[in-house]
Amino acid sequence: MGTRVLPGVADVVLGEDGILRILHHVGTSVDGERARQISAVHAELAAGRRLPTLIDISGIRSADRASREIAAGMEDSIERLAVVVSGPVSAVIGNFFLRVTRPRYETRIFASIGAAERWLLRGEP
């Protein structure tokens, strides 16, 4: 378990349930540098494991190509990923990541955190 706060970027939390949560701060734009910070913290908390990961991008304004590529490349520490969106902007970003960037781990988009957590914990298809 552990929590890391990246000011102006996101909170990264490893919960007791084993889910690693990346909670982007509202109003932020995610670029490659910020994505690298998140990736480093994720790897630190995962400690060599591949963890079910939840990323909440419901509040972000944009995510550039570099940040998406970095996120898609985190297959060593992400078992599967639930992307939580809210509103059209984050929905576009989430779907772009899913369908265009095409991460190599299983990814789904959810409108609520609860649904996302249930999927991650139960491994439901």
Partner 1 sequence: MTALGLDAALDLLMRIAAGEAGARGEPAGAEPMIDAIVVGLNMLAEDLEHERARRAVAEALLQDEHDAYDASPALLCSVDATTLRLVKCNATLAAALGVPREQLVGRVLAELFVEADRLAAARAFAAAARGETAAIPELGLARAGGGDLRVSTSVSWSPSPTPRLRVVWRDVTHERRLEAQLLHAQKMQAVGRLSGGVAHDFNNILAVILASATLARRRLAPGHALIPDLAIVEEAARRGAALTGQLLAFSRQQVVSPVAVEVGAHVRDVDRMLRRLIPESIEFALEVAAGEQVAFIDPSQLTQVLINLVVNARDAVAGEGRITVEVASVDVGGAADVVPALDLAPGGYVLCTVSDTGHGMSKEVQAQVFEPFFTTKPVGEGTGLGLSVCYGIVRQAGGHIHVYSAVGVGTTVKVYLPRHGGASVAAPAAEAVTVAGAGTARATASHGTETVLCVEDDDTLRRLTASVLEHAGYRVLVAGDGAEALASLRARGGSVDLVITDVVMPRMSGRELVEVLRAEGRARAVLFLSGYTASAVAHGGGLGDEVEFLSKPFTPDELLRAVRDAIARGR
**CB under 8 Å to 34, separation ≥6 — which residues?**
6, 8, 9, 10, 28, 67
CB burial of 83-122 (b: ≥16 within 10 Å; e: otherwise) equals bbbbeeebbebbeebbeebebebebbbbeebeebbebbee
Considering the rule CB under 8 A, would residue 40 count as an interface residue with partner 1? no
Choose between 23 and 85: whose C-beta lies nearer to partner 1: 85
Least distance (Å) between residue 46 CB and partner 1: 27
Considering the rule CB under 8 A, would residue 43 count as an interface residue with partner 1? no
CB 48 within 8 A of CB 40: no
Considering the rule CB under 8 A, would residue 91 count as an interface residue with partner 1? yes
Choose between 48 and 88: whose C-beta lies nearer to partner 1: 88
Considering the rule CB under 8 A, would residue 27 count as an interface residue with partner 1? no
Choose between 3 and 95: whose C-beta lies nearer to partner 1: 95
Considering the rule CB under 8 A, would residue 93 count as an interface residue with partner 1? yes
Considering the rule CB under 8 A, would residue 71 count as an interface residue with partner 1? no
